[in-house]
A and B are shown apart, each in its own frame.
Chain A
Amino acid sequence: MTRDELLVIAAAAAAFVIINIIMWSIIAKKERKAKGIAAPQNETAEDTVSSVPAAAAAEGFVLVDNTVIVHTKDRII
């Protein structure tokens, strides 16, 4: 093989690799976006939070009723 032929093969291989990287990164980005939109927004399960142990830290403080109903597991704070 001549030097020119080797250069053409190397250039073609490099182009193939670059095109693959670009293509798969676009696909991955689209998949991430689709998951991001779908998951938290459709969360409808009732999340009944149980007792928080911190209450036990104060002497004589005993929770009697303890119902907290929210409809998402997402948090801001």
Chain B
Amino acid sequence: MDYITACDTDIGISKKINQDSVCVKTANTATGKAALVLVCDGMGGLSRGELASAEVVRSFAEWFDAELPFELPDWDWKTAARNVISRLRRLNAILMDYGAHNGIQLGTTATGLIAVNKDFMTFHVGDSRIYRISDKLSQITDDHTFVNRAVKMGKMTPEEALTDPRRNALVQCIGVTGEVAPEVRLGTFENNTNFMICSDGFRHVLTEKELFEELSPEKTPDRKAMKSQLRGLIETVKSRNENDNITAALFRAEL
């Protein structure tokens, strides 16, 4: 089996700094393959969002390099899930403490995938998304936004949510909310299935049809094609006057 992956990020057309961070790591190990794909979107309205997203990405990247190799021989997904939740909560406390001591508010989303051989775990806090793309496109994360929660509670229609002024307000993210309840899911890879992780800036002005057509496994047979398709969509997003930073990563396990 093999893992194929790529990522791209762009500051966009109007922001002075790219507050997104992204990480893509794969490794051959004594027990098979392992991968980490993570997208963090530093909060646009908050100061030092790029620092918040960088800290979360660095923390997971350092875990992959320094700790995962020694965890793999006794790998257990339930323990791994607990550890990921603990790490996210610890990062939340660190960012909140840093913000309080410096009189600033900094926050980030954290949405990622950890793969070990044929199995995977997704973890998610905020409004970045993971899509599964096979013969159809499906969103496998829930947006942790005020309007999404209101829609689910029946207090708002999906149409109202699209234009509500609070549509970008998050109900939880890393570094701002006192408690975080990360969404964690376990799964097993299937052939011919891509996973796409993106910040909201990537998906705002793209339709699901476009995402499906441009990022399908058929259109992305190798890393070079993945990179090219991601760049093509980023340029499309910029041409449609999206104001946010734009980041996406693509991953496929070939069984």
Interface flags, B26-51, vs A, CB<8A=1, else 0 = 11111000010000000000001011
Instruction: Check A44 against B30 for contact (C-beta < 8 Å).
Output: no
Known: A68-B61, A70-B57, A71-B17. A63 touches B25 (CB 8 A): yes
Known: A46-B18, A70-B57, A71-B18. A55 touches B23 (CB 8 A): no
Instruction: Check A69 against B51 for contact (C-beta < 8 Å).
Output: no
Residues of B within 8 A of A46 (CB): 9, 18
Instruction: Check B59 against A77 for contact (C-beta < 8 Å).
Output: yes
Known: A59-B30, A64-B27. A70 touches B53 (CB 8 A): yes
Residues of A within 8 A of B48 (CB): 41
Q: Give the number of residue pairs across the A-B interface with Cβ within 8 Å.
A: 108
With an 8 A cutoff between CB atoms, is A54 at the interface?
A: yes
Interface of B, secondary structure class, is: mixed
With an 8 A cutoff between CB atoms, is B98 at the interface?
A: yes
Q: How far is the CB of B67 from chain A (nearest CB, A)?
A: 9
With an 8 A cutoff between CB atoms, is B54 at the interface?
A: yes
With an 8 A cutoff between CB atoms, is A5 at the interface?
A: no
Instruction: Check B54 against A70 for contact (C-beta < 8 Å).
Output: yes
Instruction: Check B17 against A52 for contact (C-beta < 8 Å).
Output: no
Known: A52-B65, A54-B66, A61-B30. A72 touches B25 (CB 8 A): no
With an 8 A cutoff between CB atoms, is B55 at the interface?
A: yes
With an 8 A cutoff between CB atoms, is B242 at the interface?
A: no
24 residue pairs bridging A and B, Cβ less than 8 Å apart: A41-B48, A46-B9, A49-B58, A52-B65, A55-B69, A57-B66, A57-B69, A58-B69, A62-B28, A63-B25, A63-B26, A64-B26, A65-B5, A65-B26, A66-B24, A68-B25, A68-B57, A68-B61, A69-B21, A71-B20, A72-B50, A75-B54, A77-B55, A77-B58
